[in-house]
Amino acid sequence: MSILESFQLNGRRALVTGSSGGIGFALARALGQAGAHVILNGRSADKLQQAATTLQAENLSVSTSAFDVTRADEVRSAIEGIEAQAPIDILVNNAGMQIRGPLHEFADDDWHTLMKTNLDSVYFVSKAVAQKMIPRGQGKIINICSVQSELGRPGIAPYTASKGAVKMLTKGMAIDWGQFGLNVNGLGPGYFKTELTEKLVKDEAFTAWLVGRTPSRRWGDVEELGGAAVFLASEASRFMNGHVLYVDGGVTATL
C-alpha cells in the first residue's frame, strides 16, 4: 500500500454523531470524500435528511440514523440496528453543546445536561461500538475534543471540565482497547466559524482578541478539519493511539 492509498477510506463505514450541521457535517463530508459510506446521526430526522440530501447531491454515499446519544438504551438499540446491516469501521463522537455562565451561578440542571451531551454520550456510543469492533480486531474511534481540553476561559468552566474529561477518556479507551486492534484518538478543534459561534464571530472585540491570540491570525473554516479527520480514520494513523491532534491555528502553542 502506497502512502496515498493509506489515506483512502473506500469500503469503510463511518458513524458521525451530531452531524446534521456544523463541524460534524464537515467531518462527515470529508470522510465521504475519502471514500467512506457515512452514517449521519442527530435527534432530528428532518435535519438529518436535509444534510444527507446535500451530501448525496455531491455523489457521496450517505445514510441516516436518528437517535439520542445521551440515552444509553437508545444508543445500544441504534448501534445494533446499524451493525445488523454492516459493520461500523469508524466512529466519530462529535455531538456536543455549550452552556455559558459564571461557575458560581451555574444551574445544576445545566451542568448535568452539558455533561450528558459532551461526556456521557462519548462513553455510551464508544462502548456500544467498541463491543462490536473488538471481536473483529480493528476499528477507529475519534473523539472530538477541544482547545478547552487544555485551556480555559471565563464563563465556560463546565464545558472545559467536560472536554478535559473527553481527552482523558480518549486516553483510557486507547489503553484498554488498543490491545484489541482499536485506534482511539482525539481531534481538538480551535475556534471555527459555525452556526454555533456566529455571535462570537460578529463580536468585534472577541474576534480582535482571538485573531491576536492565534498565530495563524484568523478563525478556522470547518473544512480545514477534514484532513485531520481522514488521517485519524485511515490506515495512515494505524500506530497512533491515545493522542489528541489539535487543529487550532496554533492557539495551544502560545501564551
- Is the CATH number of domain 5-194+221-248 3.40.50.720? yes
Angle, to 10 degrees, between the axis of helix 22-33 and the axis of helix 45-56?
A: 40
Span 130-175, pLDDT tens digits: 999 999 999 999 999 999 999 999 999 999 999 999 999 999 999 9
- Average pLDDT taken over every residue of the chain: 97
Q: If we measure between CA atoms, which residue out of 125, 139, 233 comes closest to residue 178? A: 139
Could you give the CA distance from residue 186 to residue 244 in angstroms, rounded to a whole number?
A: 4
Q: What is the mean pLDDT of residues 185-192?
A: 98
DSSP secondary structure code for residue 117 in this structure: I
Q: If we measure between CA atoms, which residue out of 132, 137, 159 comes closest to residue 148? A: 159
Could you give the CA distance from residue 18 to residue 43 in angstroms, rounded to a whole number?
A: 8
pTM for the model: 0.97
Locus of grid cell 445545566 = 110
DSSP codes joined into one string, 104-157: GG--HHHHHHHHIIIIIHHHHHHHHHHHHHHHHT-EEEEEE--GGGT---TT-H
| Sequence spans of domains, the chain | 5-194+221-248
Query: Which parts of 130-200 are beta strand (E)?
Result: 139-144, 182-189, 192-193
Span 205-217, pLDDT tens digits: 999 999 999 999 9
Residue 195 has pLDDT above 90, yes or no: no
Q: What is the mean pLDDT of residues 96-124?
A: 98
Provide the pLDDT for residue 255: 84
Which active-site residues does the annotation give?
Answer: 159
